[in-house]
Amino acid sequence: MSDITAPQEIEPTALGVDNRKLAVWIFIASEVMFFTGLIVTYIVMRGRSTTGPYPEEVLSVPLVAINTFILLSSSFTMVTALSAIQRGDARGMRRWLIATAVLGLLFLSGQAIEFTTLFRDGASLSSNMFGATFFTLTGFHGMHVFVGVLWIGFVLARAFRGGVTPDNHLAVELVGLYWHFVDIVWIIIFTVVYLLRM
Amino acid sequence: METQHTKPNYIAVFIALVILTAAEVTVTYLPVPRLPILIPLSITKAVLVVLFYMHLKYDRRLFSGLFLIGVFGALAVIISFTLLFGPPLLDTVK
């Protein structure tokens, strides 16, 4: 049975872990604080708009619930891609990575639909405190999903050239860490922004 | 030292995430206080992802420590904002 976390072909390092993986975890720790700042700012400011539209008038839970399901599914396909390459199934890994990228793009499409609807209803970055903090928060999250899709694209390109093997699949693990983290951020955003609003 | 592990059941984790999300949405249709129910559900989902999909349950403690530094920093931000602006959720959540 293969190890599910061991980095491969690791250079000897002071901490005994791969520096690239260490870097990704440090980056994630900083991102936790980055998104906390945005989320808390949203919580504080959303109730302080002096003019509408107000969040309870314009936010749509059903659409976003579908988007949440899409992003949760993409985390599953991502972890399945890692699992596949650990079993030595390079073809399966590529398929699951493609599925993850497609789900990421679907999420972004859903967000584009949501934003378009919100713009039509008069909410924007400059409409009021709600709009400013909402679009900053969800926009930055969407940008992270977009970066994740690009990152998956780079890993896929490498995988198609045979650069990702059962003995050397750290690239998949690292993009997976980032992707799951972005999923976690959405889990919190979905609850705090969409469900706790009324 | 890295050790050999059985893989977590990724499908079970996914099903749990979907059920918890459905539970969260359901709660918003019920005449119950949302905050004390939704926040624990949401944190449970986040912990499931970080433990099993990001493998912190099985990985080196170093990574868990790094992640927790971020979480403690986040808590500091939340507490600071609460002290500065008042209980943040209470103004809009009934």
C-alpha span between A153 and A135 (Å, rounded) = 26
Tell me whether residues B21 and A196 touch, CB distance under 8 A.
Answer: no
CB-based contact (8 Å) between B49 and chain A? Answer: yes
Q: Does B61 touch chain A (CB under 8 A)?
A: no
Q: Evaluate whether residue A109 is within a structural domain.
A: yes
Q: How confident is the model at residue A119 (pLDDT cuts 50, 70, 90)?
A: very high
pLDDT surpasses 70 at A112: yes
Assess contact for A17 and B64: CB atoms under 8 A.
no
Residues 6+ apart with CB under 8 A from B39: A191, A196
User: What tens digit of pLDDT does each residue of A143-194 get?
Assistant: 999 999 999 999 999 999 999 999 999 999 999 999 999 999 999 999 999 9
Q: What is the pLDDT of residue A104?
A: 98
CATH at residue A136: 1.20.120.80
Residue A12 lies in a domain: no
> Is A190 domain-assigned?
yes
Domains in chain B: boundaries: 7-59, 64-94
Would the CB atoms of B2 and A6 count as touching at under 8 Å? yes
Q: Which residue has the higher pLDDT, A111 or A43?
A: A111
Name the residue range of residue A84's domain: 19-195
pLDDT at A13 over 60: yes
| A8 domain residue, yes or no | no
* Across A62-73, average pLDDT: 96
Decide if A13 is inside a domain.
no
| A162 is a domain residue | yes
> Average of pLDDT values for A55-68?
92
